[in-house]
Amino acid sequence: MQIAERLPFVVRPRARRQRHLNWRRILTAYAFLAPYLIVLVVFTLIAVLYAFYLSFYRVNLGIEAPVFRGLKNYQNIWFDLTHDGDFKVGLINGVKYTVGVVILQTVLGLALAVLLNQRVRARGFFRTLFYLPALTSSVAISLIFLWLYTPDGAINRLFSIFGLQGPNWLHDPLTALPAIMLLNIWTTAPTFMIIYLAALQDIPPTLSEAARVDGANGWQVFRHVTLPLLRPTTFLVVALGTIGAFQVFDQIYLMEGAEGGPLRSTLTPVVNIYNTAFRSSLFGLACAEAFVLFVVIFAFTIVQRRFIDANIQY
Amino acid sequence: MATTARTADTRAAPGARDRTAAPSERPPLKPQTAILYAVLIFYGIFSLAPFILAFISSFKTYGDIVNNPASLVPQPITGANYQQILGSNAPFPHYIFNSLVYAITTAVLNVVLASMAGYAFGRLEFPGKNVLFALTLAVLMIPTQLILIPKFLVVNALGLANTFGALIIPAMVTPTSVFLMTQFMKSLPHELEESAMIDGAGRFRAFWQIILPLTKPAITAVALFQFQGAWNDFIWPLIVMSSQDNYTLTVGLSYFKGVNFIFYNLLLAGAAINIAPLVVLFFIFQRYFVQGISTAGLAGR
């Protein structure tokens, strides 16, 4: 409204609206869209189709033209899955990682948002503070934690204050993956906190007040009024979290190396695909692995949608 | 004066409601409130401590870093780590330059190209609009790492591998930017450019002179997100940039972790250099960061 008033033009209602779309209008619209559509088509759509095509080929970049090998790549994946190969190990680690990270970061993001949605002074200050881990590059964070997680590092020094002996975080197969999971929860939860906070502030206060009048306590209001209203946000946060967690690469590559050590305990699907493509030069197989992973993530997202829908009662 | 008085009033209001229970002058600090602030402060420290410790330690010597990892006072305080990284023989100034080229170019291109696309999606009617916008939303949900290999093969086939074209061209207009711009464009009143066009301006002029200046918050958010994304990007430059001259800062930093030895002192100074520009940008523009994330969060509705 204010914006319209500031305009130097006289706002005249249109005498008659042109209902039909003429070619010029269509051309103008597509001219505006052209750069975006070109990038989208070339680097996403063609890339996906190309990957699907190559998943049936053997690809040796710069050595030979792609050689058709039918379902061989997919058969290789099947063999890998039935014989404890890297792809299977990566997939299992990926599922463990994703389930742990998504559940905890969603709960943490929601909890932080609920806390900040109280009558809090200096809300902006706390929000800024909490957001810092999400702002920083995964490379800088991974390198800092490579140092903090050393056996005699700051984290274990903190443990020793309480008389506890901290583990060799990144080199013990039992703790390596959880250590990186904790790191990722810490860096991703603040983004979801902001999304939840925006959603919480969208909820009209009259709803919770009405429930209060009906005698509901704080927890009941949260459980039966707030949480159901946050359902679309929860689905989004869980879906984005799943996609992000399944794709973890930077942290593993920097802290544990491309082998996903110790003893493949941190080998995740994308690290594995990276190895297949860039260390073994099996690009066709890497494309096939990417498609199988895509199907897994897609299935996960659908199951979550069902689960989130079913678990909320009105 | 009037403003301060009003702020004081609104601050008193919640307290006034509490006073119905205890009619004292100042309500005593309720235990819930104390716990709330304790939790907030604890989590604040939890969020900040690793950065503070790393930043302070970047002024320590290698021996001091390894022997006293948790001490908050470097002994001695030294700027040698930064000198070594930023010195004239070191490759890092060049890596920083490469990262800046990647981040700034794609931020500017995203502002221009995504606002054009957002204008078409948000304010024009044309056949195919709904399908293309649905496609944009779908692409937002595709795991980006999964098209990494095919994207690399496309870039390679186009002869762009190991050039800045490989970094910039695929990222010059992202679906996220287009989505943010579209949402903002939709929210502006429709009469705006109609009146301008009646006065004889063309579509492009209406877009450029009327609409674009009004989308400053969205433009800022798009520029910030793209800058942050490119500045922090690791796997894509790692894959497409094979010669050392073309490394970005993140790729350069990753080489501090050798196979047998880790230069913790240089690594911490490098991490600080990587983090600092974003922290400055965030403190200046945090309103736009928050608005942008909140808008992106609406994608699921």
pLDDT digits (tens, 9 = 90+) for A197-251: 999 988 888 888 888 888 888 889 999 999 999 988 898 899 889 989 999 999 9
Q: Can you give the pLDDT at residue B45?
A: 96
Domain that holds residue B206: 89-300
Q: How far is CA A77 from CA A57, A81, A87, A115, B82, in A?
A: 14, 6, 7, 46, 47
A32 contact residues in B (CB cutoff 8 A): 116-117, 119-120, 124, 207
Domains of chain A: 83-310 (1.10.3720.10)
CA distance B289 to chain A (A): 10
**Portion 126-145 of B in contact with A at CB < 8 A:** 126-127, 129, 132, 135-136, 139, 141-145
CA distance B28 to chain A (A): 16
Q: Which residues of B83-109 are buried (b: 16+ CB within 10 A; e: fewer)?
A: eebeeeeeebeebbebbbebbebbbeb
At residue B62 the predicted structure's pLDDT band, cuts being 50, 70 and 90, is very high
User: ipTM of this model?
Assistant: 0.86
In a domain, residue B67? The reply is: no
3-state secondary structure of A57: strand
Report yes or no: A74 and A310 within 8 Å, Cβ to Cβ. Answer: no
In a domain, residue B196? The reply is: yes
In a domain, residue B96? The reply is: yes
**What is the number of structural domains in chain B?**
1
- The mean of the pLDDT values for chain B is 86
Question: Most distant CA pair in chain A: distance in Å?
Answer: 82
Query: Do the chains contact at A3 and B189, CB–CB below 8 Å?
Result: yes
In a domain, residue B25? The reply is: no
Query: Do the chains contact at B114 and A249, CB–CB below 8 Å?
Result: no
Task: Give the containing element (helix H, strand E) for A307.
Answer: helix A283-310
Closest alpha carbon to A298 in B187, B108, B143? B143
B124, B199, B301 ranked by CB distance to A9: nearest = B199
In a domain, residue B206? The reply is: yes
Query: Do the chains contact at A43 and B170, CB–CB below 8 Å?
Result: yes
CA distance B89 to chain A (A): 23
What are the pLDDT tens digits along chain A (314 aa)? 344 444 444 444 443 445 445 788 889 999 999 999 999 999 999 988 988 999 999 988 877 888 999 999 999 999 999 999 999 999 999 999 999 999 999 999 999 999 999 888 888 899 999 999 999 999 999 999 999 999 999 999 999 999 999 999 999 999 999 999 999 999 999 999 999 999 998 888 888 888 888 888 888 999 999 999 998 889 889 988 998 999 999 999 999 999 998 999 999 999 999 999 999 999 999 999 999 998 998 888 888 888 777 655 44
Query: Do the chains contact at B300 and A190, CB–CB below 8 Å?
Result: no
- Which residue from A minimizes the CA distance to B69? A154
In a domain, residue B60? The reply is: no
In a domain, residue B80? The reply is: no
3-state secondary structure of A67: strand
**Peptide bond before residue B170 is cis, with ω within 30 degrees of 0:** no
In a domain, residue B64? The reply is: no
User: Any idea what the CATH number is for the domain that residue B156 is in?
Assistant: 1.10.3720.10
Which of A137, A170, A219, A238 should one mutate to test binding to chain B, selecting the residue with the greatest count of B CBs within 10 A? A137
Q: Can you give the pLDDT at residue A147?
A: 94
Query: Do the chains contact at A283 and B153, CB–CB below 8 Å?
Result: yes
| Tens of pLDDT, residues B163-201 | 999 999 999 999 999 999 998 898 888 787 777 777 777
